[in-house]
Chain A
Amino acid sequence: MEYITSKKGINDEKYRKLHEIFQKNPNVLASHYLIKQNRSVSYMTFFLKEIFDYFSLKTSDGMLVYKLRNIQSVINKLTQKILTENEKTIIPPVNP
């Protein structure tokens, strides 16, 4: 459970997939609908719905909050990438 909700637990790709499943079939998180088919599975949807709502939480201007939570790791990755690229491009000085 910790893995799912940690910073590594969500990214754009995963959010897109979850959103696709939900768009295709909104009943996937509707416990009252699923209870007719399977009671145990319908109880599981409480948890899934909470997780999905947590990932879908938006600020008032429509920005997804998980992106804000992940921003530090994204910045770190980009910084690392820029640093390594710089290292490659720097030509070592030639001794006379």
Chain B
Amino acid sequence: MQVRRYYYHNILFYIDTLKQENIQLKLMSLIQKINEKVYNKFSSAPVCALNLAIMSGFLEPREKLRLIISCEEIYKKTGVGSVSKLVLDKMTLTVNYYEDTYSIYLNDTNVKALINKTFIPTKTAEHGLSFIKKEDELNLTKNWPGDDIIEVFKFIYVLIDEDLEEILPEDIIENLFNRIMPRLGYSNISKSISLIIFILKIIRAVVFGIYNFKKRNK
């Protein structure tokens, strides 16, 4: 059985390619049923079915908008950490809610989807930010970098909503390290200092553990 794994940046989407056409038909009928039910009774399953349908391109834009409005309300009511099931046409759609993701299992098919509610960068991307060091800053300020590098910095400024027109060209790099990078979650603390902080945290945890243990034994 051939299983294709589709990667989107916030979605892991598995489909059994051999049954894909069959699944499409099933999803279509499922979404129609969900659409009817949404207005009568609130249920959390349509939220996931909707996302599944959007990503697979089964819904018309008008339907998408109509459903997403209803689904936002549904989501607010159901909250996180819940499991719900919706039985339609002998198919069961199981939805598991967690804090950051929700997963969908459509029984009788191999449709499985894990959807992150927020963007989660890959480890490579996260570590990529920490490669910039103080030496690089000095190097970049001494030797004015080429246009391509400046464009990269401009890209970051736009992401952070900083007004580029207010910043002088020579301040671009300096501002980047002092103001912009901390907002991206990158700290300029050296490795030795972060190691000391880590050790202190361990010591605090141990002391706290011993204190609690003694307290319980008393």
Residue pair B54, A37 in contact (C-beta under 8 Å) = no
Chain A residues with CB under 8 Å of B124's CB are 46
Chain B residues with CB under 8 Å of A43's CB are 127-129, 131-132
Complex CA–CA separation, A44 to B152 (angstroms): 9
Chain A residues with CB under 8 Å of B9's CB are 50, 53-54, 57
Q: Is the interface of A mostly helix, strand, loop or mixed?
A: helix
Residue pair B121, A1 in contact (C-beta under 8 Å) = yes
Residues of B153-179 whose CB lies within 8 A of A: 154-156, 158-161
Residues of B115-129 whose CB lies within 8 A of A: 118-119, 121-122, 124-129
Chain A residues with CB under 8 Å of B155's CB are 18, 21-22, 28-29, 48, 52
Residues of B100-124 whose CB lies within 8 A of A: 118-119, 121-122, 124
Chain B residues with CB under 8 Å of A41's CB are 132, 136, 145, 149, 152
State how many residues of chain B have any CB contact under 8 Å with chain A: 45
Q: How far is the CB of A18 from chain B (nearest CB, A)?
A: 6
Chain B residues with CB under 8 Å of A59's CB are 54-55, 57, 64
Closest to B55 in A: A59
Q: How far is the CB of B55 from chain A (nearest CB, A)?
A: 7
Complex CA–CA separation, A71 to B156 (angstroms): 25
Chain B residues with CB under 8 Å of A21's CB are 151, 154-155, 158
B8 at the interface (CB under 8 A from A): yes
Complex CA–CA separation, A4 to B64 (angstroms): 25
Asked, given contacts A44-B132, A46-B125, A71-B69, whether A5 binds B152 with beta carbons under 8 Å apart, the answer is: no
Query: Chain A: interface residue count, which band?
Result: 35 or more
Residues of B1-15 whose CB lies within 8 A of A: 8-10
| Contacts A1-B185, A21-B155 supplied; 18 other A-B pairs, CB < 8 Å | A4-B160, A14-B158, A18-B155, A21-B151, A21-B154, A21-B158, A25-B151, A28-B155, A33-B148, A37-B146, A40-B131, A43-B131, A45-B152, A51-B119, A52-B155, A63-B61, A68-B54, A68-B68
Task: Please report B residues at the A interface, Cβ cutoff 8 Å.
Answer: 8-10, 54-57, 61, 64-65, 68-69, 72, 118-119, 121-122, 124-129, 131-133, 136, 140, 145-149, 151-152, 154-156, 158-161, 183-185
Could you list 18 examples of A-B contacts with CB < 8 Å? A14-B161, A22-B155, A39-B131, A44-B131, A44-B156, A47-B126, A48-B155, A54-B9, A54-B119, A57-B8, A59-B57, A59-B64, A60-B57, A61-B57, A61-B61, A63-B64, A68-B65, A72-B69
